[in-house]
Structure 1
């Protein structure tokens, strides 16, 4: 039976306190969550993953139990991941979701990943800028204190949901959880678009243990990001989850955990 999570903190390079929970036993798996999320969103998945891994799941800076700093870039996130990896110890595998997967990729470009690198739907700008000019509309809604309007813009313009699907999202428990986190998305969208269209930069990860996960029911640019990375990182493997989307870890925790296990077994043989 999986253990209950225990809560801890680590200090990042700029002095920011990064909170994380630890759950399970076995090889270390450090999990970096995505935008408008917290570590708590991963509790259903880590209840499954903790049977095989010691999961280290942290609140990214600026949300929930973690601190923040006025200066921000994706490099800040790299240092936060590094702080949690140091707590996890040698041999850790890394799992990143959405923007957290971009942060994890940035870490892997700078540091050796001793275990497997697992990437779940990173939002690469494969069809052009993810936010583009619409980021100004999002920024204006946040400045006006209208987080709901900002999220409506983001879900349609950035994520690619049909407008008619937004009312359904508002009826889910997820909506109330993400609403107060909307302001944190602005700086992350800026960082995503600043990456530019060069996917080839990730080819240096070729022949290193890398596994991609995507849902066939997700938005087109996200599944294309997964497939294009799989082609770019030679030797990487891929799991496509039938009919699941960007929240597969919530909709089907057991199935998602199986995809992670498959990636680690495939990439890091015993």
Structure 2
């Protein structure tokens, strides 16, 4: 049952996934359902700025992926269980929905669509694959290091390992001293989940060929070259994919820039 709030018809609720895991969600606005799937180290609250911008046009659902925030974390982890979580939320929304996935959340949404989830239309922002098949070994080695650190309870080291790929050393040092660091450490164990969602780390061409819904793949014009190449490769691999570049945006996209693009895509005839 939803717990109502006065902010933009904001409501909180929860569903029970197929394996009995509690999945907590927030819902904003009224209209066609649009589920937002967050990326690594993010939970429902982090998607609130985007959800509020989209709420005048959609009933936007953000949720804590398993192991995060108010959601449970039944083991052992599998990507199939995360797909079932999204399927359960889709049923709660009425049996069909638009879906938008951020980063690794986009990879999860694509995997769900390929597995047969009834997605009316799908958008993703920079799913973090590699377009180069030679990246498989690097991805595997990274996964072994990450899992090893987490298995030994070294959450800080695991978090630093993940963030070092995207941040300069001085920026990472600054983040370690910031107020947000404890919250990130609390989510560090879910980095292994996001790593698993990416499979071998390379654009999954065969899987994407099974996604027959319309898909918009969005990327930032100021993102690293490898990220932009991967986004284009994903769009090309999708039978009904299209690609859009947002000038000046990076891997951390501004919600006020992204929201109009999503609104246009999800409402076009």
TM-score range, shorter chain: 0.7 to 0.9
Once structures 1 and 2 are overlaid, which stretch shifts more, 147-156 or 41-50?
Answer: 147-156
Is the CA contact 1:237–1:263 (under 8 Å) kept in the aligned structure 2? Answer: no
The 1:85–1:168 alpha-carbon spacing in structure 2 relative to 1, beyond 3 Å, is: same
- CA shift for structure 1 position 174: 4.9
The 1:161–1:91 alpha-carbon spacing in structure 2 relative to 1, beyond 3 Å, is: same
> 1:132 and 2:113 equivalent?
no
The 1:168–1:241 alpha-carbon spacing in structure 2 relative to 1, beyond 3 Å, is: farther
- CA shift for structure 1 position 17: 1.0
RMSD of the TM alignment (CA)? Answer: 2.4
Once structures 1 and 2 are overlaid, which stretch shifts more, 45-54 or 175-184?
Answer: 175-184
Moved over 6 A (4+): none
Partner SS, residue 149 of structure 2: helix
- TM-score, length-scaled by structure 1: 0.86
- CA shift for structure 1 position 140: 3.8
- The number of residue pairs the alignment matches comes to 261
Is the CA contact 1:45–1:253 (under 8 Å) kept in the aligned structure 2? Answer: yes
Q: Distance in 1 between matches of 2:66 and 2:194?
A: 11
Query: What is the match of residue 233 of structure 1?
Result: 238
Which sections of structure 2, spanning at least 5 residues, go unmatched? 1-5
Partner SS, residue 85 of structure 1: helix
The 1:146–1:31 alpha-carbon spacing in structure 2 relative to 1, beyond 3 Å, is: same
> 1:86 and 2:91 equivalent?
yes
Q: Distance in 2 between matches of 1:138 and 1:35?
A: 14
The 5 Å alignment of 1:206-225 reads 206=212, 208-225=213-230
> 1:199 and 2:201 equivalent?
no
CA-to-aligned-CA distance 1:205-264 (integer Å, 9 cap, x gap): 25x31111111222333322211111111332222122222221xxx2211111211221
Which sections of structure 1, spanning at least 5 residues, go unmatched? none
The 5 Å alignment of 1:65-84 reads 65-84=70-89
Partner SS, residue 115 of structure 1: strand
Question: Which residue, out of 116, 120, 127, partners 1:122?
Answer: 127
Once structures 1 and 2 are overlaid, which stretch shifts more, 180-189 or 39-48?
Answer: 180-189
- TM-score, length-scaled by structure 2: 0.86
Query: What is the match of residue 266 of structure 2?
Result: 264
- CA shift for structure 1 position 89: 0.8
The 1:196–1:114 alpha-carbon spacing in structure 2 relative to 1, beyond 3 Å, is: closer
Q: Distance in 1 between matches of 2:58 and 2:166?
A: 33
CA-to-aligned-CA distance 1:43-102 (integer Å, 9 cap, x gap): 111110101110011110111001111121110111000100011114410111122111
